[in-house]
Amino acid sequence: MDDESTPTLAEFWEARYAGTGQVWSGRANRAMVDVVSSLPAGRALDLGCGEGGDAIWLAQHGWRVTGVDVSLTAIARARDAAEAAGVPADHIRFLAADLGSWREDGNPSPYDLVTASFLHSPVEIPRADILRHAASLVAPGGHLLILSHASAPPWSAHQHDYRFLTPTEEIDALDLPVSEWTVRIAETRAREATGPDGQRATMDDVVVLMHRADSA
């Protein structure tokens, strides 16, 4: 029987955002910027967009962006941040939805870039299913970018609760047809990070970039 005291995914993340001020810096993830800067702009989908830092950067660099997150508070902050940054309304939109069940209305339009950054959660999510669905939304010739932690931050309260995947394991879990997909990047990159109480640490992130073949 489910423990009635256990929050749902939406309840957990809404409490996480609504229970404090701005959670993230508002700056785009460095690895995302480094990878995407070399790609031609098109339509982008940012899964788990949080307060919108990555999505706003993409829109400022020529992409037409859709950001999706489960927290209503995060989405409200993302919309406010995009407006404050002067991003035209027709260049960016934000949706509040559970990625485990979210599907676009009608026939989904393909995206030239789908990003999924740090889809880790103390409340269980169907992460592999979410990422496989993300791959299905990539247009021929487009890219899927997955950024994930290689290990828990030293300040995390959930360090022993989660199994982090290596780059190879991330790719294997996608189980994409090799005739259709090519691995462009599969590596671990170090970065300097700051914890919620100002703690400094060097963290390793997994970076996986997959390219979908052009249609014949």
Whichever domain contains 122, its CATH number is 3.40.50.150
pLDDT at residue number 162: 67
Mean pLDDT in residue range 166-187: 96
Whether pLDDT at 25 is above 80: no
User: How many Å is the maximal CA-CA distance in the chain?
Assistant: 52
DSSP tag of 50: T
pLDDT at residue number 1: 39
On whether residue 200 sits in a domain, the answer given is: yes
Q: Give the domain range for residue 38.
A: 28-212
On whether residue 72 sits in a domain, the answer given is: yes
Q: Return the number of other C-beta atoms located less than 10 Å from residue 90's C-beta.
A: 8
Q: How far is CA 214 from CA 50, 87, 174, 186, in A?
A: 31, 30, 19, 21
**CA 11 to CA 109: how far, in whole Å?**
29
In 3D space, the residue among 130, 122, 128, 65 whose CA is nearest the CA of residue 98 turns out to be: 130
On whether residue 3 sits in a domain, the answer given is: no
DSSP string, 81-96: HHHHTT--GGGEEEEE
On whether residue 179 sits in a domain, the answer given is: yes
More confident residue, 175 or 23: 175
Whether pLDDT at 43 is above 90: yes
Task: Report the percentage of the chain scoring pLDDT > 70.
Answer: 88
Q: Which helix (H) or strand (E) holds 76?
A: helix 72-84
pTM exceeds 0.85 for this model: yes
What total number of domains does the chain contain?
1
pLDDT grade for 72, boundaries at 50, 70 and 90: very high
Instruction: Give the model confidence (pLDDT) of 86-111 as tens digits.
Output: 999 999 999 999 999 998 776 567 99
Contact between 40 and 95 (Cβ < 8 Å): no
Mean pLDDT of the chain: 88
Burial (Cβ within 10 Å: 0-12, 13-18, ≥19) of residue 206:
buried
